[in-house]
Amino acid sequence: MDERDIRSYTYEEVQLALAGMGEKPFRAKQLYQWMHEKLATGFEEMTNLPGSLRDRLAERFTYTSLDMVERMVSELDGTEKYLFRLSDGNVIESVLMRYHHGNSVCISSQAGCRMGCRFCASTLGGLTRNLLPSEMLGQIYQIQRLSGERVSNLVVMGTGEPLDNYENLLRFLRLLTDEHGLHISQRNVTVSTCGIVENIRRLADEKMQITLALSLHASSQEKRKELMPIAYKYELKDVLDACRYYFAQTGRRITFEYSLVAGVNDTAKDAAELGALISGINCHVNLIPVNPIKERSYSQPDRSAVEAFKNKLEKYRINVTIRREMGRDIGGACGQLRKSYIEEQRKETGV
């Protein structure tokens, strides 16, 4: 982690840092409140701290706050897509979804991604860098400020592979669910991974109450390799064993994500193989009709094929939902807003 990045410090670390600066304990509490409850965008907003302390803090630390570049609001369901600029000029995207059970935010965990999933727009330009804990938090904080509404649920399903940025992710999850901060319930947090086996196991050992979503997308090792290069590194059997271990350690039911691609993984045979593969696992399957991207020729199965796939899986006593498409009118698949922005910038600057 970056020692200067005060907004990634835990409450205990802020206490230590301020004690080291000769400040009384209540100052640490005030500072932490400004950063994680009142969601200040800079030291200058912290009006109950003496000006001299604010100056010393600004000399010693950096303060992460994201700049909004673009905000698109769906007229269909109120979904909002945000593009944020980081302090080094990189851009990332996040989404606010409104459900009857509350507001859910989908955040990015990296700028870009190096996992290479064939149908995904976020990975086309490769990985630029990992996001800091404060930059993951910053997406939620800015959305809460800009929308004026409380965020109660979080999914780490935006650009990036969260378990490829493990230390920062874990620190972020601790800060987010800390009683001194936004205090989002661990049960309302989902982390989605393409299946980095050793880090699924590490996360399981933390015994947090967060939901693990595993991007499966295929019912055999061979087919998974066609869609997800990470399958060359990990055997499907080992990925599923790690999921079983996650359930054993945390008691949290696993979510399997399965993007349905017409003619690739959507047949009755695929559904039957999938059912047999996961039938013993305490799980839930989320079917996602693939969101086509222009760089690839993948397309969605028609509605009846999606329903048939669901019915077949249910015969294996598996709980299945079909993901509702949110914000269709402000659309595009995950990662496309960021990508088109970067392409525009390149055109304008000629680099």
Longest pairwise C-alpha distance within the chain: 69
Task: With beta carbons less than 8 A apart as the criterion, state whether 314 and 298 touch.
Answer: no
- Measured in degrees and rounded to the nearest 5, phi and psi for residue 198 equal -65, -30
| Complex with ligand SAH: residue 53 or 333, whichever CB lies closer | 333
- Closer CB to ligand SAH, residue 17 or residue 318? 318
Closest CA to 265 of 315, 314, 215: 215
The structure tokens 């592979």 sit at 161
Task: Indicate the helix (H) or strand (E) that contains 96.
Answer: strand 91-99
Answer whether 335's CB lies under 8 Å from 295's CB.
no
* Residue 326 one-letter amino acid: M
Would you mind telling me the total number of residues written for the chain in this entry?
351
CA distances to 26, 55, 56, 57 from 61, rounded to whole Å, are 19, 10, 8, 6
Residue 186 to residue 322: CA distance in whole angstroms:
24
Nearer to ligand SAH, 49 or 274 (CB): 274
| CB 119 to ligand SAH: min, Å | 5
> In the bound complex, what is the minimum distance in angstroms from residue 159's beta carbon to ligand SAH?
7
What's the closest the beta carbon of residue 271 comes to ligand SAH, in angstroms? 17
Whose tokens are 């800390």? That residue is 178
Residues at the interface with ligand SAH (CB under 6 A): 115, 117, 119-120, 157, 161, 192-194, 215, 257, 259, 288, 290-291, 293, 333-334
* Integer Cα distance of 289 and 307 in angstroms: 11
Q: d(Cα 62, Cα 335) in Å, to the nearest integer?
A: 28
Show which residues are catalytic: 93, 334
Quick check: helix, strand or coil at residue 313? helix
Which one, 44 or 307, has the nearer CB to ligand SAH?
307
Contact 271, 313 (CB under 8 A): yes
- Shortest Cβ 145–ligand SAH spacing (Å): 25
In the complex, what is the shortest distance from the CB of residue 275 to ligand SAH, in angstroms, rounded to a whole number?
Answer: 19
Closest CA to 212 of 172, 244, 185: 244
Nearer to ligand SAH, 57 or 293 (CB): 293
Q: Which is nearer to ligand SAH, 56 or 225 (CB)?
A: 225
Residue 259 Cβ vs ligand SAH, minimum distance, rounded to whole Å:
4
Minimum distance from CB of 161 to ligand SAH (Å)? 4
**Separation CA 12–CA 19 (nearest Å):** 11
Spell out the alpha helix ranges (H) of 61-159.
Answer: 133-147
Shorter beta-carbon distance to ligand SAH: residue 78 or 229 = 229
